[in-house]
Structure 1
């Protein structure tokens, strides 16, 4: 079950769901359109092996989308983030989905990590890949994703952020902090 447009607006008006900046015109029937921020993380050394047993910090480098945009060639991969900062209450989970018009161009907005736990706070990191045969130019503040809000049947005992989660309060795109346990 997803929140409907009026429920999204009501939850934001009540203050328990926060999306900032928020534009009511970007509320869709069952989602909120999110915009692309201007920072990216790009692979530092493409082709170098990453061992998931010990993912080292610094495998990406920060870049910025300028007024000419950011050209993604076929096969390129970047981490990006939403312009909006989202704060989910303990009784709402979320999914971030790519815009279908971008998907029809071969641009994947989140490769696999579309789920957001209740209690999460921060900008949402996007894993963007160009699967098309064409170069695609990204632009700052372009509508890039949709946030769908999912009511929980009950609030969890430990919402995201209470257990030292990797990405709570993240700002900008954050590279993988994967730990094989």
Structure 2
């Protein structure tokens, strides 16, 4: 069951759901979601420095480009380009909820995807959300820090998670506060 604005407000007031924002969170609440905004840091993998991604190895630091975009400035994402962004908002999910990171239809209609595959936020997660952003249009798009790029929708679990995200040994991204590139290579099951 997806939570309505009424339910979201109750969880925020109770302190079970925490959204840290430099913007008025009340104004970010929609009928069944909370808007989130693009942060200031962008990262991307430099294909001139990386000829292949080997999932058993870390991506070399010199192959990762990082840009800090000042408020009021922009970052141009080119057709077909894939970048990593981050939410301005930090989120803390209780052990009985999951959240979904969804794009905005207004941006989707321009060819901007804000999450490629990882739109699911586990119970017990705390931190900012790394966004997998891709321009699938044929025209460059300017992105601005602080612009609304998506929304969090929340669902109640039938029972609380036995082992919430932050208590799992494999919780690689807990408490992230900036763009986090993939650390898939630390998985040892293959």
- Whether these two folds match at TM > 0.5 is yes
Equivalent position to 1:168, from 147, 165, 174: 174
Q: State the alpha-carbon separation in 2 of the partners of residues 178 and 172 from structure 1.
A: 17
Per residue, is there more helix in 1 or in 2? 2
Cα offset, 1:44, TM superposition: 3.1
The DSSP-based 3-state class of the residue aligned with 1:9 is helix
Q: Does 1:85 align with 2:90?
A: yes
Cα separation, 2, equivalents of 1:19 and 1:178: 27
Q: Are 2:183 and 1:177 equivalent residues in the alignment?
A: yes
3-state SS, counterpart of residue 176 of structure 1: coil
> Displacement of 1:57 after TM fit?
5.1
> Contact 2:111–2:135 (CA<8 Å) still a contact in 1?
yes
Change (3 A) 1:57 1:29: farther
State how far apart, in whole Å, the 1-side matches of 2:151 and 2:133 are.
14
C-alpha separation between the residues in 1 aligned to 2:173 and 2:74? 27
Q: CA deviation at 1:149?
A: 0.6
How far apart are residue 99 of structure 1 and its match?
A: 0.7
SS in 2 for 1:161: helix
Separation in 1, partners of 2:29, 2:73: 28
Name stretches of at least 5 consecutive residues in structure 2 with no aligned partner.
Answer: none
Q: 1:34 aligns with which of 33, 36, 52?
A: 36
- Please tell me whether the aligned partners of residues 57 and 177 of structure 1 are also in contact (alpha carbons under 8 angstroms): no
Q: Under a length normalisation based on structure 1, what TM-score does the superposition of the two structures give?
A: 0.95
Q: Which runs of 5+ in 1 are unaligned?
A: none
Aligned residues: CA RMSD: 1.3
Which structure 1 residue ranges, 4+ long, deviate > 6 Å from structure 2?
Answer: none
In structure 2, distance between residues paired with 1:90 and 1:98: 24
Q: TM-score, normalised by structure 2?
A: 0.91
Residue 69 (structure 2) aligns with = 65
1:135 aligns with 2:137: no
Q: Is the 8 A contact 2:73 2:145 kept in 1?
A: no
Match of 2:5 in 1: 5
Tell me the residue number matched to 1:55: 58
Q: How many residues align?
A: 181
Q: 2: CA distance between counterparts of 1:72 and 1:103?
A: 14
Q: Using the alignment, how far apart are the partners of 2:80 and 2:167 within structure 1?
A: 37
Question: Which residue in 2 is equivalent to 1:17?
Answer: 17
Deviation at 1:54, TM superposition (A): 2.2
